[in-house]
Structure 1
Amino acid sequence: MDASAVNANVTVDDFDSVLSYADQAAWQTPDPSSPAFDAGTSEWLMGTYHTTSVVGASVSFNFTGPAIYVFGAAGPAYGSFAVEVDGTTSQASAYAASNASAPYMLYGAANLTYAAHTLTLRNLGKQGADAGGDALLFDFLRTTVQLAPAGATVKNQTLEETDPALKYTGTWGSNKSPNFSGGGSTFTNADNASVSLTFNGSAIYVFGDKKNDHGPYRAVLDGGAPQLFDGISGCGGAYGMTCEQMQPTLAFFASNLDARPHTLSITNIAGVNGSFFDLDSVVLSVPSVYAPRTLANGSSATNTSSAAPSSPSSTSSALRTAPLSPLLCLALSAMWLLRPTRR
Structure 2
Amino acid sequence: MDSSAVNANVSVDDFDSILLYSPDQSVWTTPDPSSPDFNAASSQWWMGTYHATETINASISFNFTGIFISVFERTTGPAIYIYGNSGPSYGSYEVTIDSNTTTLSAYSSSNASEPYLLYGSSALEYANHTLTLKNVGAKGSDGGGNGFLFDYLRMTVQLGPKGATVTNKTLEETDSSITYTGVWGNNTSPAFSGGGSTFTNENLASFSLNFQGSAIYVFGDKKNDHREYNVYLDNGTAQAFNGTSGCGGAFGQTCEQQQPCLKFFASNLDGSTHSLKIENLAGVNQSYFGTDFDSIVLTVPSEYAPRELSGTSTSSNASVTSSSTSSTSTNSSGSSNAASPLIAWNPMLLLFMACIYLFKSRLH
TM value normalised by structure 1:
0.92
2:319 corresponds to which residue? Answer: 304
CA distance in structure 2 between the aligned counterparts of 1:113 and 1:308, rounded to whole angstroms: 19
CA distance in structure 1 between the aligned counterparts of 2:362 and 2:50, rounded to whole angstroms: 21
Give the letter aligned to residue 243 of structure 1.
C
SS in 2 for 1:334: coil
Question: In the alignment, is residue 330 of structure 1 matched against residue 354 of structure 2?
Answer: yes
2:35 corresponds to which residue? Answer: 34
CA distance in structure 1 between the aligned counterparts of 2:201 and 2:260, rounded to whole angstroms: 18
Gaps of 5+ in 1: 310-321
Q: How does 1:217-236 map to 2 (within 5 A)?
A: 217-236=229-248
Q: CA deviation at 1:333?
A: 2.5
Within the candidate set 93, 107, 110, 1:81 is matched to 93
CA distance in structure 2 between the aligned counterparts of 1:275 and 1:19, rounded to whole angstroms: 19
Give the letter aligned to residue 7 of structure 2.
N
Question: In the alignment, is residue 103 of structure 1 matched against residue 118 of structure 2?
Answer: no
Q: CA deviation at 1:274?
A: 1.1
TM value normalised by structure 2:
0.87
Whether contact under 8 Å (1:180, 1:338) holds in the other structure is no
CA distance in structure 1 between the aligned counterparts of 2:224 and 2:136, rounded to whole angstroms: 28
SS in 1 for 2:354: helix
CA distance in structure 1 between the aligned counterparts of 2:318 and 2:20, rounded to whole angstroms: 17
* 71 and 11 in structure 1: CA distance in 2 versus 1, 3 angstrom threshold: same
CA distance in structure 2 between the aligned counterparts of 1:22 and 1:89, rounded to whole angstroms: 18
Question: In the alignment, is residue 279 of structure 1 matched against residue 280 of structure 2?
Answer: no
SS in 1 for 2:94: strand
Within the candidate set 194, 204, 224, 1:212 is matched to 224
2:50 corresponds to which residue? Answer: 49
1:25 corresponds to which residue? Answer: 26
Give the letter aligned to residue 33 of structure 1.
S
CA distance in structure 2 between the aligned counterparts of 1:271 and 1:178, rounded to whole angstroms: 30
2:334 corresponds to which residue? Answer: none
Whether contact under 8 Å (2:168, 2:298) holds in the other structure is yes
1:313 corresponds to which residue? Answer: none
Question: In the alignment, is residue 293 of structure 1 matched against residue 307 of structure 2?
Answer: yes
- Structure 1's consecutive aligned runs of 4 or more residues displaced over 4 angstroms after TM superposition are none
What is the CA deviation profile of residues 178-204 of structure 1, one whole-angstrom value per residue up to 9, with x for unaligned ones?
Answer: 332112111111111000000000000
CA distance in structure 2 between the aligned counterparts of 1:283 and 1:335, rounded to whole angstroms: 9
Q: CA deviation at 1:331?
A: 2.4
What is the CA deviation profile of residues 114-166 of structure 1, one whole-angstrom value per residue up to 9, with x for unaligned ones?
Answer: 11111000001001111111101100011121111111111110000010010
SS in 2 for 1:335: coil
Deviates more, 1:98-107 or 1:265-274: 98-107
Q: CA deviation at 1:9?
A: 1.3
CA distance in structure 2 between the aligned counterparts of 1:191 and 1:183, rounded to whole angstroms: 26
Give the letter aligned to residue 335 of structure 1.
F
CA distance in structure 2 between the aligned counterparts of 1:199 and 1:323, rounded to whole angstroms: 28
CA distance in structure 2 between the aligned counterparts of 1:238 and 1:199, rounded to whole angstroms: 36
Instruction: Provide the alpha-carbon RMSD of the alignment.
Output: 1.7
Q: CA deviation at 1:300?
A: 5.1
Question: In the alignment, is residue 166 of structure 1 matched against residue 178 of structure 2?
Answer: yes
Whether contact under 8 Å (2:306, 2:315) holds in the other structure is no
Q: How does 1:194-205 map to 2 (within 5 A)?
A: 194-205=206-217
Whether contact under 8 Å (1:39, 1:47) holds in the other structure is yes
CA distance in structure 1 between the aligned counterparts of 2:264 and 2:250, rounded to whole angstroms: 25
CA distance in structure 2 between the aligned counterparts of 1:11 and 1:337, rounded to whole angstroms: 10
Within the candidate set 88, 103, 114, 1:91 is matched to 103
SS in 2 for 1:336: coil
CA distance in structure 2 between the aligned counterparts of 1:209 and 1:323, rounded to whole angstroms: 29
CA distance in structure 1 between the aligned counterparts of 2:205 and 2:219, rounded to whole angstroms: 17
2:72 corresponds to which residue? Answer: none
Gaps of 5+ in 2: 68-77, 325-343
SS in 2 for 1:182: helix
* 93 and 160 in structure 1: CA distance in 2 versus 1, 3 angstrom threshold: same
CA distance in structure 2 between the aligned counterparts of 1:105 and 1:125, rounded to whole angstroms: 18
What is the CA deviation profile of residues 179-232 of structure 1, one whole-angstrom value per residue up to 9, with x for unaligned ones?
Answer: 321121111111110000000000000001110111100000001111000111
CA distance in structure 2 between the aligned counterparts of 1:55 and 1:236, rounded to whole angstroms: 22
Identity fraction in percent:
59
Whether contact under 8 Å (1:214, 1:232) holds in the other structure is yes
